[in-house]
Structure 1
């Protein structure tokens, strides 16, 4: 399985992502939305939409982070992937991307803007190749990596996930 993952990383030209795993931007809309047309949480114009390939292997994780846009996750290949999201009010949701709909897995999931979220291959998963679409488009200026202490203070009831998905 490791050879298949290495081949996917090479074939898709994926590179390490700051939050963990591997990615490559595959789409950035040519049209932009001016800052005057965006909610006040944005500073500067944004592409209408962006998309990436994103791959996590066993042992990888997408660290808890949040962005200012909605992010749609799409399942492409491999094994189930758990997406953990904490809403501003503290409600935690666990969603499993995958193909086994009878087991409650879904092929697509939306993480709303402003939610802390991360992902980890589900138990027994070798890897998951997914895609993420962001609108308004992703900009690293809108990306905030979660600090363990800050998240534990705000959401002590989610200690297990916070410790697993932060440094």
Structure 2
């Protein structure tokens, strides 16, 4: 084979490798790679609270300029949630019409049993749960899916950082 033929093959091979690498390294959230429907374990002493509906247009603000911002916004492609320190309110939103409910678990760094806020209002709906936490503690959110019919928890899962209950 001539040098010119080898050069054509090398260029074509490089172009193919570049094209394949473009597909392989496209930016994707880690949670988006989790297969939906795989069951996960939750603590046995978990307290489940069904969320009350948040009227459309009154969802919590995440902006720093908001009087009572919602912090720790955490999301997957199926559900999202955040924590409003003022009033100790957990918001959860169902983002996917899949027959499962959006769930936001709340864990503390001071030993309180875990609680989870479940929204069974349908895709696109936001719900809230009002709880009361120790103001000197921290909480962490876990966003996932729940099936009321089977009482089972499912991926995708996302975790927030630890959040101060007093919002400071």
TM over 0.5, shorter chain? no
TM-score scaled by structure 1?
Answer: 0.32
Looking at secondary structure, tell me which structure has more helix per residue: 1
Structure number with greater Rg is 2
